[in-house]
Amino acid sequence: MGDSVICELQNITKRFPGVVALDQVNLSIKKGEILAIVGENGAGKSTLMNILSGVFPPSEGRILYEGQERRFSHTREAQELGIAMIHQELSLSNALSIAENIFQGRLPKKATGLIDKKKLFQDSQKLLEQVGLGGVDVKTLVRDINASQQQQVEIAKALSLHAKLLILDEPTSALTPAEANVLHGVMGKLREEGITMLYISHKLDEIMKISDRIAVFRDGRYIETLITKDTTVERMISLMVGRENSAAYTRARYMSEEDYNSRPVVMEVKNMTVHKKVQDVSFKLYQGEILGITGLVGAGRTELLQAVFGADKREHGEVYIEGKEIKIKHPSDAIKSGMGLVPEGRKAQGLFLEMNVRENMSIVNLKDQISGFRLIRRQEERKKVTEFNNRLRVKTPSLEQKIVNLSGGNQQKVIIARWLMNNPKFLFLDEPTQGIDIGAKTEIYDIIHELSENGMSVIVVSSEMQEIMSLCDRVIVMYEGKVSGELIHSDFEEEKLMTFMSGK
């Protein structure tokens, strides 16, 4: 790695109505390095990257790229100079093939004006090999490959633009550790080829592993750049949050074997089967319990939750609540019997993008804020939303802000608030802390813990080993649609879980 600077950001400020997202930020990026960008939700990471890649211009400040001052008025201009960004939310078209996605809008043409399929496939194949997807057919539709492969395709797309500076915004937040590893391997290879990378992630251990330097942001300000090999996670966290941070999260107490013998079973799921995804899964949920469900992506965890909730077609399976069978045909039935579900994949299943924070948060509970004339009681709606907004410390300039303008982590908090507002007896959380910063994570864990102390039963689906181990009273491991193991907190061991996860 040379010491020459490829890009220098000087005094960048970005204002949005009601927010200063970036405040006089300076940052220099060295050629061929992996520079990690860290900071809490809403610190301005994505905003800075959007500016660098030409999505929108800064309010003030200069961008020096390869020694020259640049102003990008369009992402295409940045791409032409070799700056490509992979956004927090993927932008591939599911119905197109891998090759078509890579060369979307730039398909190679023959002299006749028809698409040059041969060249398209060959070029795509080469790019796929470069990102470690050599074995995959370029004609496969994007919807048929998994999340990490989609990330790799995104990278291939960026490389097809001859990117010199590659920006990755939380690429691993939806990946399992194994998949993330593959991606890191690809990044390492690209670094050897001299490509500079900016890497945003809330997974700090990843950052320690893969990056060369770490730039820390807090509240829209640039704080400091650390050299990865000379620093520690603790130091990074304290810079991010602006104070010394406590050690890893643990709850005050977990359910013991005795608790399991004495506490009532509040929900029982029997023989749940979803076509091709879940096979004959049965489990019990105890009062005030936090039950983890883990496994590899594709193990059927999400489908199981959604089937219980009435959102996924089940072949058969019964749900009993306090001993009585409940017929659940639609999520509304599940909600009526006290369930709530925070789904995985914010954009696809969690958000009403064009609606504001208030409307997004109140949508489930609104039925309780209706007057005699069947009109919405605005005052009450606002009051309740304000209360939960404060309780979850959502960072937003106002409740009327469109949710699409909030940072990823804050969007997630709004979705969690949506369900807490409805005061459920059973809360299902599917990857609840995806893209959430370390401080907010602890806050959310605390809230989950408190809810369980008050008698609510929680199911957490998570791929993060640490999350399962520190949050859950009990864990069920799934493998290929079946339960492959079960442990209570006192028996938790990473090795055992890993063995169950691999189906052995």
Interface ranges with other proteins (CB under 8 A): 55-57, 73, 309, 311, 330-332, 334-335, 341, 343, 348-355, 359, 363-364, 366-367, 370, 374-376, 404, 418
* C-beta of 130 vs 306, nearer to other proteins: 306
Q: How far is the CB of 55 from Mg ion (least distance, A)?
A: 12
Task: Give me the amino acid identity at 30.
Answer: K
Q: Which of 46, 125, 457, 484 binds Mg ion (CB under 5 A)?
A: 46
Is 327 exposed, middle or buried, given 0-12, 13-18 or 19+ CB atoms closer than 10 A?
A: exposed
Q: How far is the CB of 205 from ligand ATP (least distance, A)?
A: 17
* C-beta of 39 vs 350, nearer to ligand ATP: 39
What is the bridge-based pairing of β-strands 265-274 and 482-488?
unpaired
Q: How far is the CB of 411 from other proteins (least distance, A)?
A: 12
Cβ atoms of residues 436 and 444 within 8 Å: yes
Cβ atoms of residues 478 and 299 within 8 Å: yes
Q: Is 360 in the site for ligand ATP (CB under 6 A)?
A: no
Q: How far is the CB of 409 from ligand ATP (least distance, A)?
A: 3
* C-beta of 309 vs 445, nearer to other proteins: 309
Q: How far apart are CA 137 and CA 151, in angstroms?
A: 16
What is the bridge-based pairing of β-strands 278-286 and 457-461?
unpaired
Closest CA relative to residue 58, chosen from 16, 21, 13: 13
Query: Could you count the other beta carbons within 10 Å of the beta carbon of residue 330?
Result: 11
Length of the chain measured in residues: 504
Cβ atoms of residues 412 and 435 within 8 Å: yes
> According to CB under 6 A, which residues from 417 to 456 bind ligand ATP?
437
> According to CB under 6 A, which residues from 185 to 244 bind ligand ATP?
none
Closest CA relative to residue 422, chosen from 332, 351, 348: 332
- DSSP strands (E only) in 132-209: 165-169, 196-200
Cβ atoms of residues 234 and 245 within 8 Å: yes
From Mg ion, other proteins, ligand ATP, none, interface partner of 405 (C-beta below 5 to 8 A by class): ligand ATP
Q: Is 50 in the site for Mg ion (CB under 5 A)?
A: no
Provide CB contacts within 8 A for 353, sequence distance 6+.
347, 402, 403, 404
- Judged by CB under 6 A, the stretch of 110-118, 123-131, 252-260, 400-408 that binds ligand ATP is 400-408
* C-beta of 287 vs 302, nearer to other proteins: 302
> According to CB under 5 A, which residues from 369 to 408 bind Mg ion?
408
Give the DSSP letter of residue 228: G
Provide CB contacts within 8 A for 195, sequence distance 6+.
32, 163, 164, 165, 166
DSSP-based three-state secondary structure for 282: strand
Q: Is 358 in the site for ligand ATP (CB under 6 A)?
A: no
Q: Which of 9, 19, 102, 341 binds ligand ATP (CB under 6 A)?
A: 19
Q: How far is the CB of 485 from ligand ATP (least distance, A)?
A: 33
* C-beta of 145 vs 168, nearer to Mg ion: 168
CA angle 261, 263, 267 (to 5 degrees): 110
From Mg ion, ligand ATP, other proteins, none, interface partner of 21 (C-beta below 5 to 8 A by class): ligand ATP
Q: How far is the CB of 405 from ligand ATP (least distance, A)?
A: 4
Q: How far apart are CA 310 and CA 318, in angstroms?
A: 11
Q: How many residues bind ligand ATP (CB under 6 A)?
A: 18
Q: Give the alpha-carbon dihedral of 468, 469, 471, 476, to 10 degrees.
A: 50
Q: Write the interaction track for ligand ATP spanning residues 376-395; mark x where CB under 6 A is met and - where it is not.
A: -------------------x
* C-beta of 324 vs 374, nearer to other proteins: 374
From ligand ATP, other proteins, Mg ion, none, interface partner of 41 (C-beta below 5 to 8 A by class): ligand ATP
Cβ atoms of residues 391 and 419 within 8 Å: no
Q: Is 410 in the site for Mg ion (CB under 5 A)?
A: no
Q: How far is the CB of 364 from other proteins (least distance, A)?
A: 5
Alpha-carbon distance values, 141 to 151, 174, 266 (Å): 14, 20, 43
From other proteins, ligand ATP, Mg ion, none, interface partner of 39 (C-beta below 5 to 8 A by class): ligand ATP
* C-beta of 19 vs 321, nearer to ligand ATP: 19
Q: Which of 173, 405, 462, 463 binds ligand ATP (CB under 6 A)?
A: 405
Instruction: Give contact residues for ligand ATP (rule: CB under 6 A).
Output: 16, 19, 21, 39, 41-47, 395, 405-409, 437
Instruction: Give contact residues for Mg ion (rule: CB under 5 A).
Output: 46, 408
